[in-house]
Each structure stands twice: as structure tokens, then as C-alpha cells.
Amino acid sequence: MKTSPGCIFIFNLLFISSLARAQEIESDSVPKPEVRDTSIIREVTYAYGIFVGLEYGKWIERAFQRDRRRYEAFVKMRVYRRWHLVAAYGKEKSLFDDLKGGGWEIQLDGTYARLGFDYAFFQAPYSADDNVYAGLRYGTSRFDQWIARYVIRTHDGLYDQIGSLPQAQVQTDWLGIVIGAQVEVFHTGLYLGVELNPRFKLSETRQNSIKNLYTPGFGEDINGRSFDYRATLAYKIPLFKRRVKERVKVKT
């Protein structure tokens, strides 16, 4: 009688499972040393300095979105051990259009600024500057917008008329959450970083009671929220080093 390949596969699978189970039972019968978490005091070196960098992620986007130009520079400085102070300044010129969804076409041109802090909740053992961090940002943007096209709702409840508004200056303020990481490139003093930035609008000044659908530095307003990412390249200007003693947990 000819044995099917399926039967052979099932037999081999059962054999391997039985063998693995037998080894597991055998290993369980051997007493293992008890692993305990304990804490020790060790010295950690914090290298204080100023990171000066650029956000380059939007430069890559320009290859796909030629109607949007954004430039951003930032500085970051360690102020106390794992805490960093961060400030950013940028300029953006964009064309926001939603002709299929709502018939909007808005040209924007303005600057924005962000200020906040980061806390490095994970640091590499070999360098405190290679870390994973979380933080908060307060952002504000004052910009010029020209609403070239928007749909007007008539008395019968239909959006069947097109209007436009002249250029006006408006402002948006927001609060952002940052989750990111940075790592040094081959001991060159250059650091690559990436961040995820959910943002929440705090306040705004409007033109003709129309909410700001798009804000430089904030992005598109989706029910008062926005989400963005940042890819950064920074150079560290070293200032001084400080060795401190910290209590850390280790397994013994």
C-alpha cells in the first residue's frame, strides 16, 4: 500500500512534537538556578550638548507632492539627565484641495514654531544619546490663507454654489504628543531620528467663521486632530560631561 505525503508529514510533525515535549520534561527535571531581580548603583555618563538639525522627511514627500513645500530646523538640549528641551521653527507653503470631498481649494503660506520637552525612557548602555523618548509640544502657526474655492450651502439645504474669499491672516494653536528615537551614525556626531506626532487643536482664529482646514506645522484638521511623522538629521555640539550614580535593576 502506498503511503501518502500527507500521512508522512503528519507523522513527522507528531514525532517532532513528542521529541520536543520529552526534552522539555527532561529539562524541567533538572533544577535551575533561581533568577532574582535586584538593584545596584552604577555610574552613568551624561554627555551634555546641543543638537542642531533639520527635518528631511518632507523633502522626500516633495517628490510626490509638488504643491507642498516645508522646511524645518530644530535645536535640542539635555537639561537634566534624561530630560531634554526642544524648540523647532519652520516655514510651509502649500495648496490644500479637496475638490472631490467638499470642493475646497486653499492656498497657505506661513511659519510655525514648536516648544516642548522629551524624556528618554530607554537609553542604550553604551551611550545615553542613543535613546527612545516621549514628550509634549506646544505649537503655534500664524499664516496667510487664500480660499480660492469653497461650496456655499443655500437656503434649501443644498451645497450647489461656489464662492471664494480674499487673502487673510489666521492662527492655530495646538498640543502634540511625541514618541521617537534617535541613534548616532558611526560615531560621527550625526544622529538620525524618527518621530510620530499625534496633535490636538487648542484654539484658532478664523476667516468668516470657517475653521482652518489646514495649518502649517499642524497639517490637515480632522475633527480637531492631526497625525504626522518627522524624520530628522542632527549634529551634536558637545559641551561637557557629567558622571552620576544611578540605581538600576539587574538580574542575578
Contact 228, 52 (CB under 8 A): no
pLDDT at 20: 41
Number of domains in the chain: 1
pLDDT at 61: 76
Q: Distance (Å, rounded) from C-alpha 58 to C-alpha 90? A: 11
The verdict on residue 37 lying in a domain is no
Highest average pLDDT, of 177-181, 225-229, 238-242, comes from: 177-181
Residues 32-77 have pLDDT tens digits of 555 565 667 777 788 899 999 999 988 877 777 767 888 999 999 9
* Residue 193 CB neighbours (<10 A): 20
Q: Is the pLDDT of residue 186 over 60?
A: yes
The verdict on residue 3 lying in a domain is no
Average pLDDT value for residue range 192-204: 96
- Grid coordinates representing 132 are 527612545
Contact 60, 234 (CB under 8 A): no
Q: Is the pLDDT of residue 10 over 60?
A: no
- Nearest to residue 57, comparing CAs of 192, 190, 155, 158? 192
The verdict on residue 100 lying in a domain is yes
Measured between alpha carbons, how far is residue 215 from residues 2, 23, 148, 229, 232 in Å? Answer: 72, 62, 16, 15, 21
pLDDT at 90: 96
The bridge status of strand 168-184 relative to strand 37-55 is unpaired
The verdict on residue 31 lying in a domain is no
What range defines the domain where residue 65 resides? 45-251
Average pLDDT value for residue range 220-248: 89
The verdict on residue 25 lying in a domain is no
Percent of the chain with pLDDT over 90: 50
The verdict on residue 34 lying in a domain is no
Average pLDDT value for residue range 110-134: 94
pLDDT at 81: 87
The verdict on residue 200 lying in a domain is yes
Residues 111-120 have pLDDT tens digits of 999 999 999 9
With vertex at residue 198, the alpha carbon angle to CA 194 and CA 199, rounded to the nearest 5 degrees, is: 125
- Higher-pLDDT residue of 99 and 124 is 124
The verdict on residue 23 lying in a domain is no
CATH number at residue 138: 2.40.160.20
Percent of the chain with pLDDT over 70: 76
Tell me which of 180-184, 189-193, 210-214 is least confident: 210-214
pTM of the model: 0.76
Summary mean pLDDT of the chain = 82
